[in-house]
A = this chain, B = another copy of it.
Amino acid sequence: MLKETLYTLMEENQINIAELSNVMSKMNTVDIADIFEDLSKEKTIQIYRLLPKNIAADVFSYIVPEKQQIIIEALTDLEIGKIMSELFVDDAVDFIEEMPAGVVTRVLKNTDAKKRTIINQILRYPEDSVGSIMTTEFVDLKEDITVQTAFEKIRKIGVNKETIYTCYVISHDRLLIGVISAKTLLLAEPHDKVGDIMDSHIIFTHTTDDQEELANQFRKYDLLSIPVVDKEQRLVGIVTIDDVIDIIEEENTEDFEKMAALNPSDDPYMRTGIFKQASNRIIWLLVLMLSATITGSIIAGFEDALSDLTILVTFFPLLMGTGGNAGSQASTLIIRGLALNEIKTNDLFKVLVRELSIGLICGAALGVVNFIRIYLTSGRDVMLSFTVTLSLMATVLLAKCVGCLLPLGAKKLKLDPAIMAAPLITTIVDAASLSVFFTIAKIFLLKNL
């Protein structure tokens, strides 16, 4: 409701500033930022200038990149400097990564030297590394201070830190030696030494580690933040859980895309250009289209048989479809299990036995239904019903094997298992199932012609 009111207020020609500020003060900053998505260029600048000073930078960090750029281009150097000094390092990096080079130069020129150095360092880490998403705003405590001194430090510097709920204990040469939660500090006595009550079972990560592993660590250990160390085990940053949730969703989106034969892309659907979208799709479509010609030539090799018995062709969709579905069921479960660390590559043999058993049960169930249907609709042709059913069962079994072996094989070769999903499996199983079908048909049907 507040959002609608705000929206109406903004669209008026003569903006009622008092009323607008009043409504905004009742709203969450994320919701205020949402409004900018639909505003015109003029309104964007006008409204941004009307934001209460204490929330302007916070709102800015949640605005969509296109509108961030419009705002930055309209602001003075001084105003840009103010935003940059208030943004958390990780939000500043996110924002800068989305801006064109000209804007970046102007933004960095107006950032104070110390923050600029840190931002530049983080920008240099590889895209999927932990370093590229960490923030440097954390509370570090020396091990020999008391709880009381720790609180004094938190009160003094805490307001500018991304989290104060987990503090990091470091030695005099900045090596990470422990963590201590605000809860532990609050429940401790003022004169307790930090080093005595800290937790020295530290779960940590390296700047160069992959982000995907990070998500599994947060999930496994129920973390709120994780310390990041460099090669010398010195504490250089932290990653907080809000960013990890974004990573989890990005990694999942990437898997969904790869599993549907798409080049993964970070951009939301509605904000990606048509040509970019098309190019993300064409490559795999081409590769798979050309692979389908293999299946085509298998069919061509049996053209004689087909002209004798064109009815065989009517079972192609049944066999190819069921094979593809059975295979992608298996591959999806394996890919997902590998991503969540529920399946390990050395489970290969166990997984294969499972899939073969499941394939036998599914194949048998489908076979019975299929036999009855063909028998009844084909004028009680037992040999035809039998041929198709046997081919179907062999296809299901084969599809389950391919569906589990390919993702596990990919993982073993350190490739992304997500590529071994429905589209590729379907193409492989198509060719295999038709070969099986023709072979079985030759034995049982064609010799009886």
Chain A residues close to B by CB (< 8 Å): 26-28, 30, 151, 154-155, 158-159, 164-165, 182-183, 186-187, 200-201, 203, 218-222, 224, 241-242, 244-246, 248-249, 252-253, 255-257, 259-262, 268-270, 274-275, 277-278, 281-282, 284-286, 288-293, 295-297, 299-300, 303, 306-307, 310-311, 313-318, 320-322, 324-326, 328-329, 331-337, 340, 342-343, 347, 350-351, 354, 357-358, 361-362, 365-366, 369-370, 373, 392, 396, 422-423, 426-427, 430-431, 434
Contact = CB atoms under 8 A, between A and B. Distances in A.
B300 A314 contact: yes
Query: Looking at A26, A159, A249, A357, which has the most chain B CB atoms within 10 Å of its CB?
Result: A249
A369 B261 contact: no
B318 A256 contact: no
Secondary structure class of chain A's binding surface, majority of residues: helix
A245 to B, nearest CB: 5
A35 to B, nearest CB: 14
Contact of A187 (B159, B242, B422): B159
Given A164-B186, A284-B325, A325-B261, A295 B310 contact: no
Contacts of A392: 289
Contact of A430 (B164, B270, B321, B333): B321
Given A332-B256, A342-B270, A369-B286, A299 B316 contact: yes
Contacts of A277: 354, 358
B314 A296 contact: yes
28 contacts: A26-B200, A30-B220, A151-B186, A159-B183, A165-B224, A224-B241, A241-B241, A248-B249, A253-B336, A256-B256, A257-B336, A261-B325, A269-B334, A270-B342, A270-B350, A274-B354, A278-B362, A285-B362, A289-B392, A292-B317, A295-B317, A295-B321, A296-B314, A299-B314, A299-B316, A313-B316, A324-B324, A324-B423
Contacts of A255: 256
A360 to B, nearest CB: 9
Contacts of A186: 151, 154-155, 158, 164, 182
Contacts of A219: 245-246, 249
Given A27-B201, A285-B396, A296-B317, 20 more contacts: A158-B187, A165-B182, A245-B248, A260-B329, A260-B332, A269-B336, A274-B361, A277-B358, A281-B362, A282-B361, A285-B362, A289-B369, A292-B321, A293-B318, A293-B373, A295-B321, A297-B314, A299-B313, A313-B316, A328-B423
A311 B300 contact: yes
Contacts of A282: 361-362, 365-366
B28 A257 contact: no
Contacts of A434: 317
